[in-house]
Amino acid sequence: DDKTCDVVVVGSGGAGLAAAIEAHDKGASVVIIEKMPIAGGNTNKASAGMNAAETLFQQQAGITDHKEWFYNETLKGGKNKNNPELLHYFVEHAPAAINWLDAKGIRLNNLTTTGGMSVDRTHRPNNGAAVGGFLISGLLKNINERGIELMLDTSVTDIELKDGRINAVIVNDEDGNEQRISTKAIIVATGGFGANAQMVTHYRPDLANFVTTNHKGATGSGIALLQKIGAGTVDMNEIQIHPTVEQKTAYLISESIRGGGAILVSRHGKRFVNELDTRDKVSNSIIALTDHYAYILFDEQIRQENKAADTYIGKGLAVQADSLVGLAEKLDINPETLSNTVERYNRFVEQQHDEDFGRTTGMRHPLNQPSFYAIPIAPGIHHTMGGVTINTNTEVLDTNAQVIKGAYAAGEVAGGVHGGNRIGGNAIADIIIFGIQAGDQAAAYAKDL
Ligand code: ADP
């Protein structure tokens, strides 16, 4: 054999890196395999934050929250399709996962909200950075400090079983050579299949013409590898379209911009939805507009508070003007209509009551600080809620719901937590919570073997 270890982690997104760190700290020898030339996967692109209820950071910020609210709002957002056991585990272990990160120098103590959540429970870095890059660089620092091996440009192409247990993986390394790595356990953390158009349209023909926000590596290969050794799948046709995607670049405009106070207006300059309703509802309301696109509109204060806004402006995605009238002219919207829309919204902010669409969150300040910005957006494929079946130990279950010994899966590759619609900020929570659990469980399994 080319190598031997206790645990092979497949994929170096948030789930894989968290799992690798935890398995190492529980005494296992770990190798991480990543098919792309860089680490981080789709997690690198995550922008909103990490949801958790009843955390120390919420307490410090004077925010009252309850795990029960988090559970119920996630279940409602997921159209009651979420796996109850997985969701309970998720909600229960979220605060510990925030602390786990904090202990590793990854502090998420700045709070905002996302669609479908009633209070500020989306934890972000306090320097205004997007959560994904911040998380991956912090996790990689921990990987390096521990000397955990990370093989880049290397794909897992096969998983080997012996006597019903995981025995080895076959990889194709950076030089194109096949290698065999003997291992007691594997943690599959290969992410979703949002960049695999063929697979997406297989399950959802109606999504054939949508752009994708996903990185190239999100091909669902981990699902196929696990299916080959008998894994079951769940909710494969539950594919999320994210409402605010710039269509020419497929660049996602973070939900934290709306959480910070931005509104959506139609091509005719009118609001048409509670901007912080769940992603499925906001997406559908944009698709229902006659022109199937809208603008996300924000002011200078929101730009100052969120680095992502600067990134979009820097990339030339935003139309910018010193006044709302100027902005309307550039967008070819009736200036009076746009001014009226914003004035009316600003009044709702003052009274903290949205008479038109019942928005209750992210109404932080009136939109009145020039400059004003608008980015044209429409929905794009964003997250695959379905995936392989796991239990709360992250053990992979076969099509008869029996554990495949030594096989663990965590993150977007696994199905069940999010049901029929994922809440913004719940993917980062998912990958860290279940990544830690997979690391723990795989290390314990390898030790006992
Ligand atoms: P999650 O958010 O669940 O952690 P990510 O998309 O962030 O998922 O990360 C998954 C990673 O797994 C990506 O970097 C992707 O390139 C990698 N990956 C996918 N399939 C394979 C494979 N067969 N072998 C090695 N790495 C893989």
Cis before 371? omega within 30? yes
What's the average model confidence in pLDDT over 192-208?
Answer: 97
Rounded to a whole number of angstroms, the distance between the first and last alpha carbons of the chain is 19
Candidates 198, 230, 228, 216; CA nearest to 34 is 216
Give distance in angstroms: CA of 48 to centre of ligand 1.
Answer: 20
Active site residues per annotation: 279
Look at the block and give the residue holding tokens 């910020």.
Answer: 61
CA distance 397 to 394: 9
Indicate the top mutation candidate among 8, 34, 213, 214 to test ligand 1's pocket, ranked by most ligand atoms within 8 A of CB. Answer: 34
Q: What is the mean pLDDT of residues 187-192?
A: 98
CATH number at residue 276: 3.90.700.10
275-321 pLDDT, tens digit per residue, is 999 999 999 999 999 999 999 999 999 999 998 999 999 999 999 99
Same domain, 264 and 319: yes
**Mean pLDDT value across residues 164-176:** 97
Question: Helix (H, G, I), strand (E, B), or coil: what is residue 205?
Answer: helix
- Please report the pLDDT score of residue 266 as a whole number: 98
- C-alpha torsion sign, points 194, 196, 197, 198: negative
- Asked if 194 contacts 18 with a C-beta cutoff of 8 angstroms, the reply is no
Q: CB of 421 within 8 A of CB of 240?
A: yes
- Averaged pLDDT for residues 427-440: 98
Q: Are 47 and 242 in contact (CB under 8 A)?
A: no
3-class SS of residue 241: strand
Average pLDDT estimate for 428-432: 98
Q: Is 42 in the pocket of ligand 1 (CB under 6 A)?
A: yes
Q: Would 200 be classed as within a structural domain?
A: no
Question: 268 φ, ψ to 5°?
Answer: -100, 10
Domain count, the chain: 2
User: pLDDT-based confidence at 128, cuts 50/70/90?
Assistant: confident
pLDDT score of 127: 86
High-pLDDT (> 90) share of the chain, %: 97
Distance, CA of 206 to chain centre = 22
The CATH number of the domain where 432 resides is what?
A: 3.50.50.60
SS3 376: strand
Same domain flag for 178 and 298: no
Per-residue pLDDT averaged across 336-351, rounded?
A: 98
Chain centroid to CA 411: 9
Residue 1 has pLDDT above 80, yes or no: no
The finding on whether 190 has its CB within 6 A of some atom of ligand 1 is yes
CA 86 to chain centre: 17
137-153: pLDDT as tens digits? 999 999 999 999 999 99
> Is 36 in the same domain as 142?
yes
Q: Is the pLDDT of residue 419 over 70?
A: yes
Asked whether residue 179 carries a pLDDT value surpassing 70, the answer given is: yes
For residues 41 and 114, state if they share a domain. Answer: yes
| Residue 311 sits in the same domain as residue 410 | no
Are residues 127 and 305 in contact, defined by beta-carbon separation less than 8 angstroms? no
Q: Has residue 2 got a pLDDT over 90?
A: no
Within a domain: 182? yes
Residue in this structure with the two tokens 């979009």, named with its chain if needed: 312
